[in-house]
Structure 1
């Protein structure tokens, strides 16, 4: 079930109200004899709708009528935005003309106003829009939507250090020790190149465990070559081969012929003991997987490949030793992880009153480190018992994942974000899974798309946009790239969450979408077929 993102609606309503309230907007209506009172009523209606959006966002999970109401409201608000953009364009045109206007042209402008097609029917268009929104405003009462639910926000203070610390791992010592023994043994299997498969549900920490192994000093000394390839759902033998080749050779290859790339990779690893990590493998095609592994045979005995996947069937196709199933964390480890992120220096001893409710929240994370980490980031430095208790007792916990399109703990983390962070995060749904982005590029896109309120100075604007980014980073919605310190990415489940809350407002266009869907899109990205942008 696709869900409506309150963040985009709320942001759009706020922008509309700002446009209506601007002096230039009012002057145009007075000067052109348009119905200014109608626009004022439109603004009041928009504000009354905005007051119930937070309540509607939560209730849409359990009430299909509320979801349909949000669908209709989203379309109406976007149409209003389009109409007011036309008005703003006319305001700008009049402003530019005024700078060059003479007395003669002023008289002509007054006489020609009634002949200008822009002004003809404008009152009727605004009246139609107002009637549409007024109808939706009346329905909110029948749906039981409450005003004033928008105030449930946690502290917006930005921590001084990032929470994305991959050395902060709990409950994985046994898993690491078991797999380390295999990696450091050249006789763990009867194959020259052996494959470890780590299988577990999304968010359980498969990638983190693989990284712990990959970065261990003993492992670094044991292997001649190490490299990491993010595979993802968009499996492409050529892309993955090219990634491995460029990493082991430390140079770029323009040639995209698979045969050439595989021969080159075989030569680069020939006679060398290597460790390859294939992270997040989904493909169940035996032929594709066999083709990908063909160059690996050139490596020396004792070489290893680590594969992480959510799919046991995929692991069965490539494993050479028994599958390593990664279990969820214990409630105690979940609490330790959550408190590490929620309290300064990870110390909860100064807030004993929060420990009981905090442990109950941790137990609802279902043993998933990603959920505990994200909720810890949400509660970062917040010591308000009421806020913690509100999160513990939220109805969202009771929703099955298929109802909210993601793990309830992640949906809850989004729900309690401030509105300005919600819309910036939801916009990031245009990026494909595994996409690496730079902080400077993201904040410029946010500004260009009017997701950041205008500040009084350019310096203040820059500070504000960077603070928004740091806030999302501190809450674990973004993660630092493993190899490029200046770049960031989103966990696949966080990416799924962004797609869920953005709904049809954002679209990754691959060319197969209907025109009906495209009519509702406000932010779009076009997928490059070679997937270079996803590396």
Structure 2
């Protein structure tokens, strides 16, 4: 995989926070004045950099190796512990400064007094916890041999039609063919159309059917070529692959100038159709280098692109055609086509009923429908079909590398700062409609939104991050309004990469809230009493507490003691008490000494 195109591991975004803290003069000054062991800072920095070097490889392999996944979870927990530790130091520093400034003394004496005060207990605690984090990381770094395993790779596509029938895409197909065969032309550059949609929607299959449709003969292309670009967008490699697809001959040229000349000679004055399948490159200069020899063509030449990113299409200056999830009837046809055994005309009524419910879980994604259908093709027992219906679809699909690769590649290509924002959405239940502005505020509370030298407001950064995720098909607009949602399988993916750090009460199968939980959400209508939160007090490093209200539910319907709930939690960053019942409206945040101290 082309390393320069991969955005960096999710872990890297959290590690960067730790690196920034470790490089802070304030932290070093704090250690020196408190006479703490400065070697701990240096050793922690070295160890975190060592872990960061392994993070990207581990993130890719976690889906096929449970040992790697367990290793990655342990590392994330240690890094979060380090982050919490830095937060405690920041808080202590600020608290003592405020205390010193409240005393009627000169500024210099105040500062001196602040650093010379007896905080032996806190100092001992900081050193002890930092040593503990360091020991964890040192142990985990020694386990790197567990990462030595081959990860699954996506197979390249070809122009040959794998599926004889394509369901629910007739309108899309007609629009694209009409555009490809039209006489309208831009003399300044090859006309380009990008098919855009999330992984598994069938962009490649649609392009294959268009490419091979008899109507394309009317366009009278002199040359037709199919190139699977995938994640490798090295200019020389891509250009040479285009040349080989046009000439049907292997080319060993190692010089871009030579390849450009050969391609120019082959295309000069000729009308061509070029399909570039699975394009990920978001760097305009690389595309311009590939595009140059394609400009010397006859009028009517066309380039058809498949991609998951609107940014790719924008950089290529192409027209965009979005494809969406299949409708209910089309979904059933895809599923039935793959689930029926040879010779069977239809499913019996009981299997059909179970199958309909399985199809609903696939949420209009053709690749998922095909995968599950093929799995059930070999089994016709009612009990087996029911077991598939009741299973976690993400766990089920993990057995099929094609669907995993298709979904994970979208995530893999995100920059680490976007991975962090996407993963946080694991707090939302499936089919949950969220508002952009509210999600940006949640990201702000977690300190996810940064700009160089802080020249932009976090809300502006959040707007950019949100639009980036939207353009990459991680979010989709809901009904044309101001609300958005995530496809169920992307929601599952977010939950998978967050593992034990995000917990959704009643939605997640684990009954007790894991101690590792950092982010917690619950549907208000599903909580009947304070008793439902009884195991939340074990998650002592909680950062998010998010109640989710259904449209019909305007407030909580039970009494709650804020003091009991939060007296043991020191690291809360996002606390939403939206919809509090009137019975406790007289309470203020000061009823909880801890929150009072930290406000």
Q: TM-score, normalised by structure 2?
A: 0.47
**Does residue 1:137 correspond to 2:135, yes or no?**
no
Correspondence for 1:499: 495
Cα distance in 2 between the residues matched to 1:172 and 1:500? 35
Tell me the alpha carbon deviations over residues 161-183 of structure 1, each in whole angstroms, 9 at most, x when there is no partner. Answer: xxxxxxxx98234999xxxxxxx
For 2:551 and 2:504, locate their aligned partners in 1 and report how far apart those are by CA, in whole Å: 13
| 1:19 corresponds to | 21
Please name the residue that 2:263 is paired with. Answer: none
Aligned to 2:534: none
**Residue 446 of structure 1 pairs with residue 448 of structure 2:** no
SS across alignment from 2:12 = helix
Correspondence 1:111-510 to 2 at 5 A: 112-113=117-118, 116-140=120-144, 143-144=147-148, 171-173=169-171, 329=206, 331-333=208-210, 361=278, 375-377=308-310, 379-381=312-314, 401-403=397-399, 407-453=404-450, 456-457=453-454, 459-484=456-481, 486-510=482-506
CA deviation map 1:71-120 (0-9, x unaligned)? 22122222222222222211111222332353676776566425x42112
Paired with 2:435 and 2:84, the residues of 1 have a C-alpha distance of 31
User: Residues 52 and 145 of structure 1 are in contact (CA less than 8 Å); yes or no, is this contact kept in structure 2?
Assistant: no
CA RMSD of aligned residues (A): 4.4
Give the structure-1-normalised TM-score: 0.52
Cα separation, 2, equivalents of 1:135 and 1:333: 54
3-state SS of the aligned residue for 1:464?
Answer: helix
The answer to whether residue 11 in structure 2 is matched with residue 78 in structure 1 is: no
Change (3 A) 1:28 1:107: closer
SS at match of 1:508: strand
Aligned residue number for residue 285 of structure 2 = none
Structure-2 residue corresponding to 1:518: 514
Aligned to 1:63: 65
Q: CA deviation at 1:416?
A: 1.1
CA contact (8 A) 1:376 1:475 kept: yes
Report whether the alignment pairs 1:533 with 2:550: yes
Name the CA shift for 1:459/1:78 in 2 (closer, same or farther; >3 Å): closer
- Is 1:97 equivalent to 2:90 in the alignment? no
The structure, 1 or 2, with the larger RCO (C-alpha pairs under 8 Å, 6+ apart) is: 1
Q: What is the CA–CA distance in structure 2 between the aligned matches of 1:474 and 1:358, rounded to whole Å?
A: 21
Q: Deviations over 1:206-251 (max 9, x none)?
A: xxxxxxxxxxxxxxxxxxxxxxxxxxxxxxxxxxxxxxxxxxxxxx
- Secondary structure of the 1:113 match is coil
Q: Alpha carbons of 1:457 and 1:87: their partners in 2 closer, same or farther (altered >3 Å)? A: closer
CA contact (8 A) 1:374 1:410 kept: no
Unmatched runs of 5 consecutive residues or more in structure 1: 1-5, 150-168, 177-201, 206-327, 343-350, 363-371, 384-397
SS at match of 2:504: strand
Q: Do 1:508 and 1:524's aligned partners in 2 also have CA atoms closer than 8 Å?
A: yes
Query: Retained in 2: the 8 A contact 1:7–1:420?
Result: no
- 1:408-447, Cα deviation, whole Å (9 max, x unpaired): 3121111111111111111111112222222211111111
Per-residue deviation, residues 304-330 of structure 1 (Å, max 9, x unmatched)? xxxxxxxxxxxxxxxxxxxxxxxx757
Relative distance call for 1:26 and 1:469 in structure 2 (3 A) is: same
- Distance change (3 Å), C-alpha of 1:113 and 1:508: same
Distance in 2, Cα, partners of 1:119 & 1:135: 24
TM-superposed CA distance for 1:513, in Å, is: 6.8
* Cα distance in 2, alignment partners of residues 534 and 430 from structure 1: 18
C-alpha deviation, 1:529, in angstroms: 2.1
Q: Name the residue aligned to 2:46.
A: 44
Q: How many residue pairs end up in the alignment?
A: 328
Contact 1:374 1:413 in 2 (8 A): no
How far the C-alpha of 1:125 sits from its partner, in A, is 2.7
Q: Which runs of 5+ in 2 are unaligned?
A: 1-7, 152-166, 175-198, 214-225, 230-237, 246-273, 280-304, 317-370, 372-394, 527-547, 553-599
Structure 1 residues 487 and 174: CA distance shift in structure 2, 3 A? closer
